[in-house]
Amino acid sequence: MLALRLLNVVAPAYFLCISLVTFALQLFLFLPSMRQDPAATRLFPPALLHGALFLFLSTNALGNYVLVIQNSPDDLDACQGPSARRAPCPPPSTHFCRVCARVTLRHDHHCFFTGNCIGSRNMRNFVLFCLYTSLACLYSTVAGLAYISAALSTSFAHPLAFLTLLPTSISRFFSGAVLGSEMFVILMLYLWFAIGLACAGFCCHQLLLILRGQTRHQVRKGVAMRARPWRKNLQEVFGKRWLLGLLVPMFNVGGESSKQHDK
């Protein structure tokens, strides 16, 4: 349990460090290199478009990250008190988290990167956090590849060029042909790519469970799916005004889970 509580502190710090490093690289390396592009005389310079897109992705990722932490799942203390005899909580919908030391409604899992349980009140923000984190990391990978391609005069037209970039760059780094800043960007490329793919897979998995009306906890316990249309399950999490939530990080825009408990 001590190791889990320590991970609950280290993982959010690790995520915030990665976010700060990514923002610094975008601001001090990628954007200045784009301003030197001859095509920057257009109506919409590449640096301006890149900065606006990265700001949109990072703002939504960090905004939903904060909302996941701020909007914790409902603490069902009544399930452990005398009132539990009058209104017992349904076992398939609740779970006691040892890390958070509380019973949560519609428990899905405990996310160590946010240091919080994912349940009825923050599932929507968690899915959007995974989505925008994936997009921001993959977009940073593309921007980093463009920077490395110009700095090292390397072409990534061949599909295997990205896979062989790291071993060849390590040998060139020790020989002095690759600068330390360029080597750091190359290492970050693989980290962004791995995080982007992992978050994309996790987002798709969570969306599939939402469409089926299940949570990860219910799948582990073997609880059957709720007999409801997939549109109803999707609306319960994302709400009727879901498009607004895709553009601006907000808490449960019209979601039914913010209005009532799971029955």
User: What's this model's pTM, rounded to 2 decimal places?
Assistant: 0.85
In which band, very low, low, confident or very high, does the pLDDT at 92 lie, cut at 50, 70 and 90?
low
- Does position 255 have pLDDT exceeding 70, yes or no? no
Q: Considering the chain, what is the average pLDDT of its residues?
A: 83
pLDDT given for residue 162 in this prediction? 92
Rg (CA), the chain: 22
- Does position 256 have pLDDT exceeding 80, yes or no? no
Residue range 1-9: average pLDDT?
Answer: 86
| pLDDT cut 90: percent of the chain above it | 44
> Bridge partners of 194?
none
Greater pLDDT, 157 or 256 = 157
In which band, very low, low, confident or very high, does the pLDDT at 222 lie, cut at 50, 70 and 90?
confident
What are the tens digits of pLDDT across the range 28-59? 999 888 876 555 556 567 888 899 999 999 99
In which band, very low, low, confident or very high, does the pLDDT at 170 lie, cut at 50, 70 and 90?
very high
- Does position 82 have pLDDT exceeding 50, yes or no? no
In which band, very low, low, confident or very high, does the pLDDT at 191 lie, cut at 50, 70 and 90?
very high
pLDDT given for residue 42 in this prediction? 60
Q: How far is CA 43 from the centre of its chain?
A: 33
In which band, very low, low, confident or very high, does the pLDDT at 85 lie, cut at 50, 70 and 90?
very low
d(CA 102, CA 263): 19
Written as one string, the DSSP assignment of the chain is: -HHHHHHHHHHHHHHHHHHHHHHHHIIIIIHHHHHT-GGGGSSS-HHHHHHHHHHHHHHHHHHHHHHHHHSPPPB-GGGGSGGGTTSPPPGGGEEEETTTTEEEET--EEETTTTEEE-TTTHHHHHHHHHHHHHHHHHHHHHHHHHHHHHHT----SGGGTTTHHHHHHHHHHTTSS-HHHHHHHHHHHHHHHHHHHHHHHHHHHHHHHHHT--HHHHHHTPPPPSS-HHHHHHHHH-TTHHHHHHS--S-SS-GGGTS---
Active site residues: 111
- Does position 73 have pLDDT exceeding 70, yes or no? no
- Does position 80 have pLDDT exceeding 50, yes or no? no
Please state which of the ranges 68-72, 107-111, 131-135, 221-225 shows the lowest mean pLDDT.
Answer: 221-225
pLDDT given for residue 262 in this prediction? 41
In which band, very low, low, confident or very high, does the pLDDT at 77 lie, cut at 50, 70 and 90?
low
Greater pLDDT, 239 or 151 = 151
